[in-house]
Amino acid sequence: MTNGQQDNEKKQEQIRVDHVVKEITRKINYLSENVKDLKESVIDIRREFWEDVTVNLEELDDFYETEASIKQQAEFLSERERSHGQFSERIDTLKRLKDSPYFGRIDFKEDDEKEEMPIYIGLASVMDENDEEFLVYDWRAPISSMYYDFPPGPANYDTMEGNISGEILLKRQYMIRNGELKGMFDTGLTIGDSLLQAVLGNQASTKMKSIVATIQREQNQIIRNEKSKLLVVQGVAGSGKTSAALQRVAYLLYRYRETLTSEQIVLFSPNPLFNSYVATVLPELGEDNMQQMTFYQYLNRQLPKSIALESPFEQMEYYLNGEGENFKTRKEAMHIKASLAFKAFIDDYLDQLGEAGIIFRNVTFRGKAIVKKEDIAKYFYSLDDHISLSDRVEETMEWITKEVRSFEKKEVGADWLRDEIELLDKEDFLDVHQRLEDRQPFEEDSFNDYTKEEELLRKKVLTRKLRPLKTKIKRKAFVDRLKTYRQLFEQTAYQRKTEGLGNAWEAISDLTAQSLKDKQLTWEDATAYVYFEKELIGFNDVRTIKHVFIDEAQDYSPFQFAFIKKLFPVSRMTLLGDINQAIYAHALHEESLLSEKLEEKHERVELTRSYRSTEPIVSFTKSFMPNGHLIEPFERDGSLPVVMEVENLKMVEEKTLDFIEMYQEAGHQTIAVIAKTLAESKELYELLKDRVDAELMTQETQNFGKGVAIIPAYLAKGIEFDAVIIPNASNENYQNALERNLFYTACTRAQHELVLLSIGEPSAFIQDVPTKHYKHYKVHAIFKNSR
């Protein structure tokens, strides 16, 4: 194409952009008018709600009529409110489209047609003025899939009616900003390296961005997968796993919009910081966010406040600091308790409990056991042992409730109630009085009234006093699950099969029993305990959830995954993770969920291309990972990582400050100092806080802004920064396999710049990297200002 032709073509394209923008503007105006009307109508309905409802409660028929009338009016109101909400959302989407109505186009000629059709693809669909033709197709529409899946040439896509094949004659990408065509490129298979270069070259943001315009073919496989019940994605650091997961949520919400809502999708995320990091992606795509939580948050919510649950980060900190007399035992426990052998051990115990051994509590009221634990046990174990434990607990609960009811009947005459009546509020007396009057308006016998009144008052007090107890019974507090669980670890209690639990089991048992006695639940016990409890008192599985996403799935143990599957029995699952970023103690021993040997039937997708970091950073990080040769960098220039050996902590402080200043001057907005542990992060924070504006990130941190973050590596999971400084990459600090993964996780957070400081000899992992992949400096104390 000559330059003149190109200019002409660009002009034509701009004319089309203008036309589409004009139509979008017309639609926005039209909808805004409607929204205004709807808003007024909602306000009117609310104001006049009771005027338009016929209220008549005298006769039963009238009552029903009134009820129907209220219902009708309420439905009318909520229908209006819903329409108002939908219109507003559509206006928001159109406003986004007005700025950039589409990003891609394919000219597709169907096999039986003579002429090709240009298909323009954008964030959402836009019809022409007569609602006949698509001016823009939603990126999730079936026809749009070809844009991501095929280069120019033969192509096909699936529809409800079957597969449609034909030929793509042109594939084009656009950069449109503020309604102006800034650039366009005709592309082949991969979607615009030049566009991707531009996107990835930008500064990292504190919020993740959507990648619709540049989704790659292999990512599209994840996004549009509809067949598998279990989809497993092993993707190297920065390969777009999280991005693909979020686009997938948006895709599913579109594809199944009649039957699927965002509340029916759950994403388990690695840390609270990550929740806010990804929070804007779906709203940007015009969809609501799915439910999002960390697995720790989920487990913690299941436990009573009296139990102190260790977080995975606290466990990690304990593990990395490697101190304490029981360290070896706990380390072993972390690995054993992650296993399915441990689950089998618990299942076996649960079987035994079917015969005997559950520890019950007295049901106590005012210091007196009104149902004794021995009687509860007797009742429980008199029930048919073919019935599951939880069903028997349920039946026992009903029996206890009856017992309490008969106690209540007798107790109503107790002396203590008289004193309590004295303490009642005036409102309570009035209420009882009113009830008596309603019941017997013409009763003359005032003596009888008086005793009735006292009886009602007594009942009122008693009911109120018994309420907390009844709630506890409903929650099955009469089963002492913590003690029953603890019994499993107390040496004398049971003859147990301990195969598969290793030689250290006795020591592990003692340690576990001790911490349970103190009401401390370690992270390695958390899943097991909640699982045990649910098996015992009832597994309220969650059938409303249709899709579960687990990000950073390599960090979940087989036991945890088995538990999650049991919790969401009807959900489809998408597991995404990276074996190289497995940082929990258990993950090194146990079979990973991402392993090719995963027994479950599943479909597996591998992502090997890394988009986040520049090519020099990827070349550096891949060099010290086993199977690193499988990691492919995306070609994007940048400076070589810097490894700097220094002599002491003071120099770390000075150099960190120098680099921060340099990066800030270069315009980088998010800079992270990524330490190995929280202890190390705190130490650095204390050194730096008066000299630079920096924020210390802990497990409680929910958000991060632009600027300098000091953060332990395990909390930086899933997140990215323009520049990363590793303050102590010494051999002493990063040695074993787990530390290697932690080190890799830390380094791969960098988008543009990476520097590693080391007090003394750098980590052996760095020594594995060919020297051409980094710049190496040794700085001695006397030259401390040079680099």
Ligand X SMILES: Nc1ncnc2c1ncn2[C@@H]1O[C@H](COP(=O)(O)OP(=O)(O)OP(=O)(O)O)[C@@H](O)[C@H]1O
Q: Which residues bind ligand X (CB under 6 A)?
A: 196, 199-200, 209, 211, 214-216, 219, 235, 237-243, 578, 611-612, 718, 720, 748
The first and second tokens of residue 109, run together, are: 């000629």
Task: Provide, for the chain, the percentages of residues in helix, strand and coil under a 3-state DSSP scheme, each rounded to the nearest 5.
Answer: 50, 20, 35
**Nearest residue (CB) to ligand X, 478 versus 556:** 556
The answer on whether 240 is annotated among ligand-binding residues is yes
Say if CB 392 and CB 380 are below 8 A apart. Answer: yes
Smallest separation (angstroms) from ligand X to the CB of 209: 5
Smallest separation (angstroms) from ligand X to the CB of 718: 4
The answer on whether 162 is annotated among ligand-binding residues is no
Contacts of 15 (CB under 8 A, 6+ apart): none
Say if CB 366 and CB 398 are below 8 A apart. Answer: no
Smallest separation (angstroms) from ligand X to the CB of 219: 6
Question: How many angstroms from the chain centroid is the CA of residue 600?
Answer: 23
Count CB-CB contacts under 10 A for residue 159.
Answer: 10
The answer on whether 242 is annotated among ligand-binding residues is yes
The first and second tokens of residue 161, run together, are: 């009616």
**Nearest residue (CB) to ligand X, 560 versus 621:** 621
What residues pair up with 172 in beta bridges, in sequence order? 105, 186
**Nearest residue (CB) to ligand X, 123 versus 644:** 123
Instruction: List Cα–Cα distances, 385 to 343, 354, 356, 359, in angstroms.
Output: 22, 7, 10, 17
**Nearest residue (CB) to ligand X, 238 versus 272:** 238
Smallest separation (angstroms) from ligand X to the CB of 745: 7
**Nearest residue (CB) to ligand X, 529 versus 549:** 549
Question: How many angstroms from the chain centroid is the CA of residue 717?
Answer: 13
Q: What distance in Å separates the CA atoms of residue 119 and residue 577, rounded to the nearest whole number? A: 34
What is the dihedral angle through the alpha carbons of 594, 596, 602, 603, rounded to the nearest 10 degrees? 90
The first and second tokens of residue 125, run together, are: 């669909």
Evaluated on CA atoms 608, 611, 612, 615, the torsion sign reads: positive
Q: What distance in Å separates the CA atoms of residue 345 and residue 350, rounded to the nearest whole number? A: 9
The answer on whether 239 is annotated among ligand-binding residues is yes
Smallest separation (angstroms) from ligand X to the CB of 155: 20
The first and second tokens of residue 233, run together, are: 């994605």
Q: What distance in Å separates the CA atoms of residue 417 and residue 366, rounded to the nearest whole number? A: 12
**Nearest residue (CB) to ligand X, 320 versus 553:** 553
Smallest separation (angstroms) from ligand X to the CB of 189: 13
Instruction: List Cα–Cα distances, 64 to 45, 57, 60, in angstroms.
Output: 22, 8, 6
Say if CB 344 and CB 530 are below 8 A apart. Answer: no
3-state SS class at 574: strand
DSSP 25: H
Say if CB 353 and CB 532 are below 8 A apart. Answer: no
Say if CB 608 and CB 584 are below 8 A apart. Answer: no
**Nearest residue (CB) to ligand X, 250 versus 336:** 250
* Angle, CA of 598, 599 and 601, to the nearest 5°: 100
**Nearest residue (CB) to ligand X, 515 versus 741:** 741
The answer on whether 621 is annotated among ligand-binding residues is no
**Nearest residue (CB) to ligand X, 235 versus 641:** 235
**Nearest residue (CB) to ligand X, 533 versus 720:** 720
**Nearest residue (CB) to ligand X, 522 versus 610:** 610
Q: What distance in Å separates the CA atoms of residue 556 and residue 299, rounded to the nearest whole number? A: 13
The answer on whether 241 is annotated among ligand-binding residues is yes
Q: What distance in Å separates the CA atoms of residue 392 and residue 382, rounded to the nearest whole number? A: 10
Smallest separation (angstroms) from ligand X to the CB of 554: 9
Smallest separation (angstroms) from ligand X to the CB of 213: 7
Smallest separation (angstroms) from ligand X to the CB of 244: 7
**Nearest residue (CB) to ligand X, 522 versus 748:** 748
Q: Where are the alpha helices (DSSP H) in 412-549?
A: 416-422, 426-439, 446-474, 481-487, 505-517, 523-537
Q: What distance in Å separates the CA atoms of residue 721 and residue 670, rounded to the nearest whole number? A: 5
What residues pair up with 642 in beta bridges, in sequence order? 755, 775
**Nearest residue (CB) to ligand X, 345 versus 611:** 611
**Nearest residue (CB) to ligand X, 576 versus 644:** 576
Q: What distance in Å separates the CA atoms of residue 615 and residue 632, rounded to the nearest whole number? A: 9
Residue whose C-alpha is closest to residue 223's, from 649, 605, 598: 605
DSSP 554: G
Residue 35 amino acid letter: V
Given phi > 0 = left and psi -120 to 50 = alpha, else beta, which region is 519? left
Instruction: List Cα–Cα distances, 26 to 90, 91, 137, 343, in angstroms.
Output: 13, 11, 18, 61
Q: Which residues of 581-606 are buried (b: 16+ CB within 10 A; e: fewer)?
A: bbbbbbbeebebbbeeebeeeeeebe
Smallest separation (angstroms) from ligand X to the CB of 539: 31
Residue nearest to ligand X (CB): 240
Residue whose C-alpha is closest to residue 164's, from 181, 145, 182, 151: 145
Binding residues for ATP: 235-242
